[in-house]
């Protein structure tokens, strides 16, 4: 189980929808490749409009099991709406990986993220978590360059303050940028190469 949180409008719902659609497309093509009959690849376009999540959204990602005699592998992601940030901590228990999604084009959201991350990182139930800070909306013109974004977030202070290692991903749920690397991390696969964000 993966937990996906972050302030309102950061793009969690769209990001998970896009990941799900990409997984569906690659599962379909993997299945077609193993069948002799050919049929159309049915990767469907993702609708970009969303409504704010008022409670909990569950998204399931599926991929082909390398052992063909076994069922598909399944990854369950629980998204908590940004409007329920006061309740996030009641969902930390038992979570191994956490996606924290940030609207990188929104400076005030970026600055207030530090205040949301501090109690999260200090919480007893997050100490063993692997945490990904996901800078989303990288398709939009950014008001600052990425090293300045990290300064606004006070990334160095956060990293010193916490025991967990914070991984950084730059993505766009709209263009698809960075989603493959993020998906690999979510499945627990090794990262192919460092992303551009200072690591």
Nearer to ligand GTP, 55 or 119 (CB): 55
SS3 75: strand
Is residue 95 a contact point for ligand GTP (CB under 6 A)?
A: no
Please, what is the minimum distance in Å from the beta carbon of residue 61 to Mg ion? 17
What is the Cα gyration radius of the chain?
17
Is residue 59 a contact point for Mg ion (CB under 5 A)?
A: no
**Pair 80, 88: CB distance under 8 Å:** yes
Nearer to Mg ion, 4 or 64 (CB): 4
**Residue 82 assigned to a binding site:** yes
Q: What is the 8-class DSSP label of residue 13?
A: H
Task: Pick from 2, 3, 10, 88 the residue near ligand GTP by CB under 6 A.
Answer: 10
Which entry of Mg ion, ligand GTP, none binds 8, CB below 5 to 8 A by partner kind? ligand GTP
Is residue 178 a contact point for ligand GTP (CB under 6 A)?
A: no
- Token pair, residue 125, equals 């139930």
**Of all helices (H) and strands (E), which one includes residue 136?**
strand 130-136
Residues 96-135 that bind ligand GTP (CB under 6 A): 101
Stretch that binds ligand GTP, among 21-29, 60-68, 77-85, 142-150 (CB under 6 A): 77-85
Q: Which ranges of 60-145 would DSSP assign to H, the alpha helix?
A: 107-122
Which entry of ligand GTP, Mg ion, none binds 139, CB below 5 to 8 A by partner kind? ligand GTP
- From the number of C-beta atoms within 10 Å of its C-beta (0-12, 13-18, 19+), residue 37 rates as exposed
Is residue 78 a contact point for ligand GTP (CB under 6 A)?
A: no
Buried b (16+ CB within 10 A) or exposed e, 90-99: ebbeebebbb
Residues that bind ligand GTP (CB under 6 A): 6, 8-14, 48-50, 52-53, 81-83, 101, 136-137, 139-140, 172-174
């Amino acid at each position: 189980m993966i937990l996906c949180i972050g302030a309102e409008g950061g793009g969690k719902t769209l990001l998970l929808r896009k990941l799900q659609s990409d997984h569906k497309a690659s599962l379909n093509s993997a299945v077609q490749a193993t069948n002799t009959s050919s049929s159309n690849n049915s990767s469907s376009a993702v609708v970009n409009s969303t409504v704010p999540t008022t409670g909990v959204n569950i998204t399931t990602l599926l991929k082909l099991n390398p052992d063909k005699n076994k069922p598909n592998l399944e990854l369950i992601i629980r998204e908590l709406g940004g409007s329920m940030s006061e309740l996030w901590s009641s969902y930390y228990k038992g979570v191994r990986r956490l996606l924290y999604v940030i609207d990188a084009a929104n400076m005030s959201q970026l600055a207030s993220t530090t205040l949301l991350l501090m109690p999260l990182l200090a919480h007893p139930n997050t100490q063993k978590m692997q945490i990904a800070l996901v800078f989303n909306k990288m398709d939009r013109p950014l008001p600052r360059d990425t090293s300045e974004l990290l300064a606004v977030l006070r990334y160095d202070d956060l990293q010193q303050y916490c025991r967990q290692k914070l991984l950084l991903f730059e993505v766009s749920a709209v263009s698809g940028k960075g989603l493959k690397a993020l998906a690999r991390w979510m499945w627990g696969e090794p990262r192919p190469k460092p992303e551009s964000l200072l690591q």
